[in-house]
Structure formats: structure tokens, C-alpha cells
Structure 1
Amino acid sequence: MTYNIFFCVFILFSIFTYMMLLNGKISVKHKRLLLLIFVVSSSFFVSFKPMEVKDTARYLEVFGSNHSLQYIINNYDVRYGNRYMGLDIGFVLYMFFIKGLGITFRGFVFVNSIISLTIFIVGINSLCNEIKTKVNVDILRVAMLFMIMYGFHYSAIVLRGGLSIGLGICAVAESMKKKKKLWLIILLLALSMSVQSMGLLNIIPVFICMRDIRISRKNAMIVLTFVFVWFLFNIGSIVTPVIAQLLLRFLSWSPLVGFSTKVNDADYRVGLRDWLMWIISVILIYFSEDKNNRKMNLKMSMTCGMVLLCFGYPFRAFSRVVDYLFVYSVPVIYVNMEEHKRNSVTRYAALLATLGMIAIQVVAIY
């Protein structure tokens, strides 16, 4: 109950800020200041989040451990997604660095949230400059839309996710500047923080542009309904473990070391899922790139993908290998629909998102 109240208060605060960003009477300069205030104040707010949340307890356990740096390096396992005590090794080292400065765990949450959200905004602006999209209030709206719900989860609950996503966006921007060395360094840093959260790479083709497809209003609504039901009932949590089990059983028949005794290990399934998602991301990026068509409505498609993630992930943590494939459907729909049809489909998507939020909160309370 405490967490649900905490979550609802944060959402109301975020929506109020977002509505201020939509106010045409406020200058872009003041909107940027408002966004900065939101980043600092929301980071302060999430630092007081309830500690009973499962993910938070895990971070607190690692942060409070007295293990030496040498012990950590010697005891992480690459087969488990480069993890130590369930967390990616890069983020664990980052936590211990902050801890070494004499900062408490709640202080760490505050600092990490500010860094994560700031890097995200910087990355978005840099990326938009590279794709020749004017950085104006619309870009700030997109950034704010991301942080209202999706950003809350990644700055307050899955602490390493927001940092990884922000670094990932910066890496994409640097790659478009042809700065290969810097791009590689930032990308590796992002991956070391959280391999899972680099599912952001599934959204990259949205920035690069999709191929030309014609989609009707009826088909768009059918796809949105299917995706909504998939998220609402958390179907991915059923499908993905089954796929992981089948793969693990297949690998257990192979001579590879480490698979025969790990078939029923939940942590190992998570590690395998990390690598599967990374592979799927790379494949999708490769086949989605179209260098001859960079004039698509990038802001619209980016917004759509983030909206879907907004009402999908924070409310019901879904297994991401399969679900991120469905995230693609929304940007594809919006990019390839005629403009006069988008409004009705947007209203329908907003209605689904609202119903989903209400349904999950009702279930959580009762």
C-alpha cells in the first residue's frame, strides 16, 4: 500500500510538470528550467522511496556489503550476464565508488537519479542535433513523457537501468558523429551498467527510420489492442521462461561447460535472457537501418515507442525479450500512417494506457 501511494504521488507530480511543458505561453528557456527543477526534485523524492520494494532491497544488500574490490572482481560470473550478487558488475563498481565518498544509500539513490535523468536529456538533445531535428519544446515534451512513468521506474527502482539507457542514447549520438572510439567506449560503459536496460537499442531503429509500410486505422487499433492485452496480463512472463527453458535444455545436451547443472536455475535464465535480448537488438538494428530515408517523423515515432513502454513496464514488470518486439509495433504504426489518421489512434492508445494504469492500481490495492 505504501508503495502504491508513493507511486501515485510521483505520477501526479510528473503529470503536473508535463502539463506545464505543454503550456505555449511559457518560453523554451523557462521550460528547460522547469525540467531541471523536475529532475532535482523528483530525484530528491525517489530517495525517500519505501525500502520494501524487492529490487531496492537487492541494491541495498550489495551497497551495504563489506566485500573488498578484489573479492568482487574475483567472484562475478560472466555466464550470469557479468553479474555480482544479481547486479551487473559495472554498476556494482560504480556503487562502491559512490559509497567510498561517504554517501549513504538514500544519498546514492538521489545522486544516481540526477545523473541518470541528466544524461538521458543530454543524450536526447545530442541525438536530435545529429538527425537535424530542431531541439525545441517538442523534444522536451518527449523527454518528459519518458520520465513520467518509464523514467520513474529506472531512476527509483531499477537504479542501474536509467544510467544504462542514458549512456546508450549518448552512444548512439556519438556513433552518428562518426566518433567510433568514443561511441564504443560509451556503449561498453552502458552495457557494463545494465545489459538488460540496453533494450533501448530496440528503439534505435525508430531514430534511424523504418521502411515504408502502409497501415490502416483499423489494423493499427487491432495491433494496439493486442499489445495492450499482452502487457496488461503480463503474458511475456509466461512465454519467455518457456523459451529460456527450451534453450537451456537444448544446451544441456551439448558438451559446453556450465549448462548441465544450471537448467533449473532462475538466475541463469535471467542471464541468458540478457544475452538473447542483446542479440535480438543487434539484428533488429541491422535490418531496420535505411540511410536513404532519414526524413521520417522521428519525434512522433520516438514518442510512440516510449508511450508504449510507459504503460507497459512500470506497472507490470514483463519479460523483455518478447515484449520489446511488440514495442516496435507502435513506432512502425505511427511512422507509416497518414497524418490525419494519427489523432484517433493516439486517443485510442491514450485510453488504453489510462485503463491499464487504473486496472493495475485497483488490483494492487485490493
Structure 2
Amino acid sequence: MYTLFFLIYTFVAFFNWFICIQEYRFTCATKTVFLLFNILTISFLMALRPLEVADTLGYVEIYEQSDAINELSFRFGLRYKGIEYCFVKLMSIFKKLGFHFRVFFGIISSLTCYLMISGMSRCEKAITHRKSSNLITIWTIFLFYCGMHYCGIAIRSGLSIALGLCAVADWHEKKKIRSILLLVCSICMHSMGTLFICILILGSLKIRGYIKGFIIEWGILFLGLLLNASQLIISTVAGIALSFFRYMGIQGFDSYLSTFDYQVGLTDWYMLILIGIIILICNINNIFFEKMSAIVGVGLIILGIAYPIRAINRAYDFFIIFIIPIISSNIALSNKNKRILLWIMMPLLYVIQFKMCY
């Protein structure tokens, strides 16, 4: 069943891929209707996903228990069976209203998709200074890069990233109060949402000429992976941190800080090379583009240094996901040849998701 589920999702992704090259011919109304239909299709698929899909059984178990959890036990930052209490509280609301867990999955998927596309499209508009955005192209890149992962597996992370993207867009549009509220919601859904604080700070800096620095950064990271430099860096930092925790009497971090996988994986190499090439191809003399590129660059630094700590390493997605509005905005501003080149490169992002999900 899982293979069939994955094949259906793949068909939807590639169907959108064939359509998005012709997006410039569509009216805004047509784009909106097409996008809404696709969001409903993906949400329906995610709602009916097989129980053997990663994390699904765990979420189902907690969903069935959520309405019986003591209301007074909910505290900001705490977890129930590894899941943030705020997300469990969201589950309990649906459960008390009598909704089946598959309805919950479908609605969360729809909300994640909508917020993702909303945040990314506004980031694209900030780069291109256009009133409309490439909704179908953004949607297609999202499907290729992380759609299944964040709408059907890591649903807390997906919702957290979606809220964070909207917070970044609102911050740029000077809607500071709404941005802060969305940021708080992002952190409530997943503790890694705190990374968006760094992203907001980075996005507030005046960054110019970053691409030259990116080339140097990428070269250092490439050399670091080649020499497996993190074996020295991570072991030294972890040793200092572990000694500090033991001195302070803090327990529970020994397993995280004493066991590492120092083998550089093919996915690490693939992401570093592919994302680096895309950034260089998409080079635009634009302040907001350089800010987005700098955010992606931070993600690559995490990828290139923290890969031995696999639990922490997935934090790079909160930064690298900004590659989506970068590609889309470049397609909007580029000539036909460059647009076709980026269109051809889109499915290469799917290799990353395939490795994560299948």
C-alpha cells in the first residue's frame, strides 16, 4: 500500500511539473482554481495514507488519547510522548468534536499546504516586485522538495515551517505584530520553530554581495565534507558540552552527545552540490534575493558541519526550504532558456525527498 501511495503522489508531482512550464499562459483565477484543486487532492491523499507510513501510528495513538489528557498538564515547551503539548491540544479539539483521525490529517495537510504556498509566494513577490506570483511553480517545487514529507510524515515540522514562512513574509511586509504571533504559533507546533527567530534576524540585516561570499562558503563546506572535518569539530564541542552538563548535574544528553555517525552520506553530498549549483544559477542583483540566499547558506552550514548529529541535522530544512521562492522568482524574471534549465532541474530536488520518504 505504501508503494502505491508513493506512486500516486509522484504522479501528482510530475503532472504539476509538466503544467508549470506553461504557467505564464494562465490567468490568476485559473492558477488559483488549479492550486486549490491540487491542495485538496494532496490533502485527501495524505488523509488516507497507509498506517505503515512513518510516524503515522504514533500520531494515531496520541490522537485517540488526546481528549483524555488533563487540561492542566499543558505547559508551553513541554511534550507528551515526544510531541509538543500545543499540538496534542490541537488534536484533542478535533477529537472532542468527534472527527476521525484521518479528517485531522487531511485538515492539517490542507492548512500546511495553504500556509506554505502563501508564505513562499509573498517571499517571491518581495524578490520580483511583481503583484502576482508563480503559484503553480511554487507548488510544484514544494511537492518535489518536501511536500510529502511535511504534509504526510513530519506533520508537526511541516505546520511549524509553514507558520514560520508566513511570519517571515509578514515581517518583511512590516506586519510585525502578526509576524510575532505566527512565530509563537510556529514554536508551539514544533520546538524547532525557534530557528525562525534566527531567520527573522538574518532577514533584517543589510546583506549585499553575498553571492561572492557564498562561493567561498560553499568551497569551505565542500572541503570540510571531503576531509570529514566535523569529526574533529563535533567531537570537541560535544566533549565540552557533555563535561559542562555533567558538572552541572544535568542528565539525559549523554546518548545524544556521545554517539555520532561521522560517515558523510551521499544525501549530504547531493544536497550541498545541488543547492549550491541552484543558488549560483539563480543569482539576481536583488537585496531580498541575497537575504534568502544567506538563509539557505546557513542551512548548508548546518548540513556541512552537524551531519554527524542526525537528530539536529534536520534543522537545516528550516533554512534550505527558502530555495523554493528563490527558484520560483528566478523563473519569473529569467529568459526562456534559463527558465527551461531551472524547470529541468526541478525533479532533481525530488531525489532528496525520495531518500527521506521511501
Assess same fold via TM > 0.5.
yes
Contact map agreement 1:203 1:305 (CA 8 A) in 2: no
CA contact (8 A) 1:11 1:149 kept: no
What corresponds to 1:50 in structure 2? 50
SS class of match (2:25): coil
Q: Give the Å deviation of 1:66.
A: 5.4
Answer with 203-212 or 219-228: which moved more: 219-228
2:246 to 232, 244, 252: 252
1:295 to 272, 286, 290: 286
Which ranges in structure 1 are unaligned for 5 or more consecutive residues?
270-292
1:139-150 alignment, distance < 5 Å:
139-150=135-146
Counterpart of 1:134 in 2: which secondary structure? coil
Q: Which residue of 1 aligns with 2:148?
A: 152
State the number of aligned residues.
Answer: 313
Identify unmatched segments of 5+ residues in structure 2. Answer: 260-283, 304-308, 328-333
- SS of 1:103 mapped into structure 2: coil
Match among 173, 185, 196 for residue 181 of structure 2: 185
- Please give the alpha-carbon distance, in whole angstroms, between the structure 1 residues aligned to 2:204 and 2:340: 24
Do residues 163 (structure 1) and 144 (structure 2) align?
no
Are the counterparts in 2 of residues 122 and 170 from structure 1 also a CA contact under 8 Å? yes
Q: Are the aligned partners of 2:67 and 2:93 in contact in 1 as well (CA < 8 Å)?
A: no
* 1:169 CA displacement: 2.0
- Percent identity at matched positions? 21
The TM-score normalised by the length of structure 1 is 0.65
Match of 1:324 in 2: 316
CA distance, structure 2, for counterparts of residue 328 and residue 107 of structure 1: 30
Which runs of structure 2 are paired with 1:5-154 in the superposition (5 Å)? 5-23=4-22, 24-65=24-65, 68-69=68-69, 71=70, 73-74=72-73, 81-128=77-124, 133-154=129-150
Q: 2:209 aligns with which of 189, 194, 212?
A: 212
Q: 1:164-220 CA deviation, whole Å, 9 max, x = no partner?
A: 222212222332343433322221111101122554566654797743145499979
Give the whole-Å Cα distance in 1 for the aligned partners of 2:155 and 2:318: 24
Tell which deviates more after alignment, 122-131 or 172-181: 122-131
Indicate conservation of the 8 Å contact 2:78/2:85, yes or no: yes
Normalising by structure 2, report the TM-score: 0.66
**Distance in 2 separating the partners of 1:9 and 1:223:** 40
Deviation at 1:344, TM superposition (A): 12
Deviation at 1:107, TM superposition (A): 0.8
Q: 1:202 to 1:13 in 2, by over 3 A?
A: farther
The one-letter code of the counterpart of 1:298 is: F
Partner SS state of residue 114, structure 1: helix
Q: Quick one: distance in 2 between partners of 1:226 and 1:344?
A: 31
* 2:252 aligned residue: 262
- Root mean square deviation, CA, Å: 5.1
- Say if 1:142 and 1:354 are closer, same or farther in 2 by CA, change over 3 A: closer
